[in-house]
């Protein structure tokens, strides 16, 4: 029999990795809850009618589809079957798919529970998503998303609080060198209007690559799309503005003063900045990046992207405001929403690269009780009960084995303390507790041990 394997692009998370992942998840959760966000979980499977058409044609092809149960071929059209058209048959033999992101299920939830939800609704959701992408470094077929969204208000305090939450999470997990890039779709539209772009989308797509392909690259791409040199000069005159948020806003306000969307975007950014001040927060880490466009076309207001500096991985979080969340589900009344998502896998990789995980980010017993014989084993069980009653995670080596084997086990499992019990200890009640890292040992009673730990 062959050794079992994992499906491509999926991973097991063993104890050491889990401890580090939980460190990130717990800190994100704590911050979300402190800001009044409430948890939601949706099923892994959604009806394909819920999922398809929401992520573009490419997205539809990356959906994992679930084969219908039972005799799934029964009602399939003969002609389709003879034509062997996988694409056409797929939807006849499968009606469910795996969640592709957390936003569409959230929108589906809001539409289905319109009457029970109190708006503005602040929800967070931490669950895996699945994409039939080609696996490569840092890209998996199963990965977690951590989303927080507010729907039912267009107040810009939501945008300000997104910035505050990102800062607070990064502080808690020890990331200090990062940039929160912010821009506004209205400003991009204003620029498009100002440079007389005929095709907004081509402009945004090209601008979004500025980081990767540089000024000349973007210009070449836009030339190919029919932009003339005058427009390009005007465009880069704007994109190259340097300075603080306030400086950039002032410059753009003078340039885009005739564009309605542009001026709305600038007012919004200014208001976000004002709100941050009222919170007692600063613009530190926040950069108004006029070239930030974000691929997804459903954003309508502020957009965000967070980069950890000096690591190979780029963006670890992103989001923005959208005004049409529930429209795709036939909702008459449009709900304005704003949200963002932490990419935990990328944060994890960055933290490994920067060696930021605290040493004690491991989930393991604090004490291993070791023993020499049946008497000390049974005595050790009483010791264990006392340790656990004091809330100290602990375990006893379950088999009668040589002491060396028991201590090796503690080392392998990164258990920091061992208590070795022999007949002498059983008699005196004075137990030898050993700090496994320092190698130091002392004799203490169980009560002394508990207060020491």
Find the binding residues for its own copies in span 14-43 (CB under 8 A). Answer: 14-15, 18-19, 22, 33-36, 38-43
Among 281, 296, 356, 446, interactor with its own copies by CB under 8 A:
281
Burial of 127 (0-12, 13-18, 19+ CB in 10 A): middle
- Chain residues 412-441 in contact with its own copies, contact rule CB under 8 A: 412-413
The position carrying tokens 């969640």 is: 99
Among 27, 92, 128, 315, interactor with its own copies by CB under 8 A:
128
Tokens of 97: 């798919």
CB of 351 to its own copies, least distance (A): 18
Query: Does the protein bind its own copies through residue 46 (CB under 8 A)?
Result: yes
Pairing of strands 367-371, 417-421: parallel
CB of 62 to its own copies, least distance (A): 8
Query: Does the protein bind its own copies through residue 226 (CB under 8 A)?
Result: no
Query: Does the protein bind its own copies through residue 330 (CB under 8 A)?
Result: yes
- Chain residues 108-127 in contact with its own copies, contact rule CB under 8 A: 108-109, 111-113, 116-118, 120, 122-123
End-to-end Cα separation, the chain, in angstroms: 48
Instruction: Report d(CA 87, CA 288) in Å as an integer.
Output: 44
Which span (202-210, 259-267, 393-401, 437-445) binds its own copies, by CB under 8 A? 393-401
Which span (13-21, 175-183, 220-228, 243-251) binds its own copies, by CB under 8 A? 13-21
Q: Which is nearer to its own copies, 349 or 395 (CB)?
A: 395
- Chain residues 183-222 in contact with its own copies, contact rule CB under 8 A: none
Query: Does the protein bind its own copies through residue 334 (CB under 8 A)?
Result: no
Among 24, 28, 50, 325, interactor with its own copies by CB under 8 A:
50
Instruction: Report d(CA 164, CA 123) in Å as an integer.
Output: 16
Q: Which is nearer to its own copies, 40 or 256 (CB)?
A: 40
Q: Which is nearer to its own copies, 41 or 228 (CB)?
A: 41
CB of 256 to its own copies, least distance (A): 26
CB of 166 to its own copies, least distance (A): 14
Task: Count other C-beta atoms under 10 Å from residue 87's C-beta.
Answer: 8
Q: Which is nearer to its own copies, 249 or 275 (CB)?
A: 275
Concatenated DSSP letters for 246-306? Answer: HHHHHHHHHHSTT-HHHHHHHHHHHHHHHHHHHTT---TTEEE-TT---S-TTEEEEEEEE
Tokens of 119: 């708006």
Query: Does the protein bind its own copies through residue 324 (CB under 8 A)?
Result: no
Query: Does the protein bind its own copies through residue 81 (CB under 8 A)?
Result: yes
CB of 394 to its own copies, least distance (A): 7
Among 57, 58, 74, 284, interactor with its own copies by CB under 8 A:
74
Among 158, 175, 311, 344, interactor with its own copies by CB under 8 A:
158
CB of 408 to its own copies, least distance (A): 8
CA distances from 114 to 195, 221, 335 (A): 42, 44, 11
Q: Which is nearer to its own copies, 241 or 328 (CB)?
A: 328
Task: Count other C-beta atoms under 10 Å from residue 145's C-beta.
Answer: 18
Identify the CA nearest to 413 among candidates 443, 441, 393. 393
The position carrying tokens 């602040």 is: 122
Query: Does the protein bind its own copies through residue 388 (CB under 8 A)?
Result: yes
Instruction: Report d(CA 420, CA 410) in Å as an integer.
Output: 12
The contacts of residue 172 (CB under 8 Å, 6+ apart) are 27, 30, 31
Q: Hey, what's the torsion of the CAs at 253, 254, 259, 261, to 10 degrees? A: -10
Cβ–Cβ under 8 Å, residues 252 and 259: no
Query: Does the protein bind its own copies through residue 77 (CB under 8 A)?
Result: no
Identify the CA nearest to 68 among candidates 97, 44, 104. 97
Which span (220-228, 279-287, 351-359, 434-442) binds its own copies, by CB under 8 A? 279-287
Query: Does the protein bind its own copies through residue 280 (CB under 8 A)?
Result: yes
């Amino acid at each position: 029999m062959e050794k079992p394997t994992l499906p491509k692009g999926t991973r097991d998370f063993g104890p050491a990795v889990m401890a580090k992942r939980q460190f990130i998840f717990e800190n994100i959760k704590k911050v979300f809850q402190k800001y009044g966000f409430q948890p939601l979980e949706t099923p892994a499977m959604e009806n394909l009618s819920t999922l398809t058409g929401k992520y573009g044609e490419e997205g539809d092809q990356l959906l994992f589809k679930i084969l219908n149960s039972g005799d799934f071929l029964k009602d399939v059209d003969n002609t389709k079957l003879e034509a062997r058209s996988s694409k056409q048959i797929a939807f006849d033999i499968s009606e469910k798919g795996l969640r592709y992101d957390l936003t569409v299920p959230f929108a589906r939830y809001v539409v289905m529970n319109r009457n029970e939800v109190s708006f503005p609704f602040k929800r967070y959701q931490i669950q895996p998503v699945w994409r039939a992408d080609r696996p490569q470094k840092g890209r998996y077929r199963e990965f977690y998303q951590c989303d927080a969204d507010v729907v039912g208000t267009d107040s810009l305090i939501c945008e300000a609080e997104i910035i505050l939450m990102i800062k607070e999470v990064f502080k808690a997990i020890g990331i200090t060198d990062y940039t929160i890039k912010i821009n506004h779709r209205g400003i991009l539209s204003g620029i498009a209007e100002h440079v007389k772009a005929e095709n907004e989308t081509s402009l945004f797509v090209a601008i979004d690559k500025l980081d990767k392909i540089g000024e000349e690259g973007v210009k070449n791409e836009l030339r190919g799309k029919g932009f003339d040199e005058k427009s390009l000069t005007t465009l880069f005159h704007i994109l190259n503005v340097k300075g603080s948020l306030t400086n950039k806003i002032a410059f753009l306000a003078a340039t885009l003063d005739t564009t309605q969307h542009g001026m709305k975007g600038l007012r919004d950014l200014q208001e976000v900045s004002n709100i941050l001040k009222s919170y007692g927060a600063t613009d530190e880490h926040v950069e108004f990046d006029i070239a930030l466009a974000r691929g997804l076309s459903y954003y309508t207001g502020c957009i965000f992207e967070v980069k950890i500096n000096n690591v190979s991985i780029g963006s670890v979080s992103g989001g923005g405001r959208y005004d049409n969340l529930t429209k795709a589900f036939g909702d008459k009344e449009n709900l304005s929403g704003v949200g963002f998502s932490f990419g935990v896998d990328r944060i994890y990789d960055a933290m490994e690269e920067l060696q930021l995980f605290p040493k004690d980010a491991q989930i393991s017993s604090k004490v291993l009780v070791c023993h020499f014989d049946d008497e000390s084993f049974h005595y050790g069980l009483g010791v264990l009960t006392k340790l656990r009653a004091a809330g100290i995670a602990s375990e006893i080596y379950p088999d009668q084995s040589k002491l060396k084997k028991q201590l090796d086990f503690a080392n392998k499992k990164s258990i920091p303390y061992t208590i070795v019990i022999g007949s002498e200890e059983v008699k005196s009640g004075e137990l030898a507790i050993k700090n496994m890292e320092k190698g130091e040992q002392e004799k203490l009673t169980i009560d002394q041990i508990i207060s020491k730990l």
